[in-house]
Amino acid sequence: MLSALSYILLTIIIYQISAWCQRKTSAIWLNPMLLTISALIPIMLWQNISFQYYFAQTKELSNLLEPAVVALGYPLYQHLKTIKYHWRLFLSVLTLGVAVVVVISFTLSMALINIPEVAIALSYKSVTTPIGIALTDASGGNSAITAFAIILAGLFGALLGPSWLNYIGVRSAKAQGLAIGAASHALGTSTISKISYEHGAYGSLALIVSAMITAIIGPLLVDNFVLFYTTPL
């Protein structure tokens, strides 16, 4: 087994090489996160390294997610006046969105695979990794699946989110920012921030508010669903 520093350096090196490839080609599908994961998974399988062990060894990198989310607050500050004016609408829409995502994710997972631990894990796929893992652990789910689902949600939002929203006629920067920030957390928000500051501001708003709402109502919904599905009739 490699040392913790070796895992961190390996991850950073692969990510930087991937980022260089994207800058050179300008291809959206050459997402550094996607390429890094694609490279790390075979290495972990080859070395028989579990996700839990890798996560523990690279926790310092995970800790950087928190200041990264704070950094996304700068474009939010730039549009603070407009956000204050519409805060009730934004709060209502994001609360409804969180509830719908948690309910649909849990019920669909139970309908398809009927494994509560997996259903719990997938219910928290649209928040930042530290919050998603903490909520999953508290509800008795599989945090490794949560981490993987969060990464997938972020990647799909970053790669396909803006194109899909434009295709279905959602072209407002506010609406796109809220949608991708709520569904694809930091990775999606950082990607759409490159489109405009307005996209970044509303993506940051959705990322932060959705995480808080999920932390409040998510466990209430999930724990009650678990009781409903696991209590004998």
Structural domain for 97, as ranges:
71-230
Last residue of a domain, one of 43, 63, 83: 63
Domain count, the chain: 2
Highest mean pLDDT among 35-39, 95-99, 155-159, 222-226: 95-99
Q: What would the pLDDT profile of 77-90 be if each residue is shown by its tens digit?
A: 777 777 788 888 88
Q: Do 171 and 192 belong together in one domain?
A: yes
161-183 pLDDT tens trace: 888 898 999 888 888 988 998 88
| Residue 22 shares a structural domain with residue 91 | no
135: buried, middle or exposed (CB in 10 Å: 19+, 13-18, 0-12)? buried
192 plus 92 within the same structural domain: yes
Q: Tell me what the mean pLDDT of segment 121-147 comes to.
A: 88
Do 191 and 149 sit in the same domain of this protein?
A: yes
Residues 33 and 131 in one domain: no
What value does the mean pLDDT take over residues 208-227? Answer: 89
Model confidence pLDDT, tens digit, residues 53-72: 888 888 888 777 667 666 66
Contacts of 181 (CB under 8 A, 6+ apart): 188, 189, 192, 202, 203, 204, 205, 206, 207, 210
Q: Which of 15, 44, 63 is the last residue before a domain boundary?
A: 63
141 and 186 fall within a common domain: yes
Put simply, whether the predicted model's pTM sits higher than 0.75 gets the answer: no
